[in-house]
Amino acid sequence: MYNKGLFHDWVPKPVQLLLIVLLMAVVMPLGGVYSGNISYMVGGTGALSENYIFANYATTIGMGASMPIVLRLKLRFKIRDKIATVLILLGILNYINATTLEPSVIIASSLVLGFLKMIVAIELFLPVMAMIGNRGMFYGVFYTFILVMNQIVGYYAVKVSILYNWQQFFIIISILCFILALIQWIFMHDQYFALKVPLYYIDWLSIIFFISTFMFSAYVFSFGKQQDWLNSDKIINASIAAFVSFALLVTRQIHLKRPYLSFRIFSKNNVLHGLFMLFCLGMFLGTTSIQNIYAVGVLGYDQLTNAQLSLLMIPGIILAGFIAVIWFKKDIPLKIYIFLGFSAMLGYSIIMYFSMVLEFNYESWYLPMFLKGYGMAALFIGVWYYTLDKLELNDMLAAIGLFLVWRTFLTVGLFSALFSWFQYRFQIESLGNLAVYMDGLTVSPQNVASNIKAIQLNAIIASNKKIFGYIIWAGFAILGYVMTHHFGEERFKYGRFIRVLRGKSVIAKRRVKENRQIAEELKDAAGPVI
Q: How many degrees, rounded to 5, is the angle at CA 268 between CA 265 and CA 272? A: 90
Q: Are residues 481 and 496 in the same domain?
A: no
| Span 406-429, pLDDT tens digits | 888 888 888 988 898 888 888 888
Specify the CATH number for the domain of residue 157: 1.20.1250.20
Over the chain, what is the mean pLDDT? 84
Evaluate whether residue 442 is within a structural domain.
Answer: no
Percent of the chain at pLDDT above 70?
A: 87
Q: Are residues 152 and 18 in the same domain?
A: yes
238 and 104 share a domain?
no
The closest alpha carbon to 41, from 113, 112, 110, 117, belongs to: 110
CA atoms of 360 and 388, how far apart (whole Å): 41
Q: Are 135 and 520 a contacting pair, CB within 8 Å?
A: yes
Q: Is 352 within 8 Å of 369 (Cβ atoms)?
A: no
Of 217, 237, 257, the position where a domain reaches its end is: 257
Side-chain-facing half-sphere of 68: CA atoms under 13 Å:
25
Residue 361 lies in a domain: yes
Q: Are residues 480 and 500 in the same domain?
A: no
By CB atoms closer than 10 A (0-12, 13-18, 19+), residue 202 is middle
> Does one domain contain both 243 and 316?
no
Looking from the CA of 387 toward its CB, the CA atoms found within 13 Å total: 26
Q: Which residues of the chain have pLDDT under 50?
A: 492-501, 518, 521-530
> Which pLDDT score is estimated for 423?
87
Q: Which pLDDT score is estimated for 445?
A: 60
pTM as predicted: 0.86
Confirm if 375 and 341 have CB atoms less than 8 A apart. yes
DSSP state of 35: G
Tell me, what's the pLDDT at 410?
85
Total count of domains within the chain: 4
Do 295 and 356 reside in the same domain of the chain? yes
Give the SS3 label for residue 101. Answer: coil
Beta carbons of 177 and 116 less than 8 angstroms apart = no
**Nearest to residue 203, comparing CAs of 335, 69, 61?**
69
Residues 56 and 17 reside in one and the same domain = yes
CB burial of residue 194 (10 Å; 0-12, 13-18, 19+): exposed
Range of the domain at 251: 204-257
Helix or strand or coil: residue 301? coil
The answer to whether position 3 is within a domain reads yes
Residue 495 makes CB contacts below 8 A (sequence gap 6+) with: none
Q: Flag whether 523 is in a domain.
A: no
- Within this chain, do residues 214 and 317 fall inside the same structural domain, yes or no? no
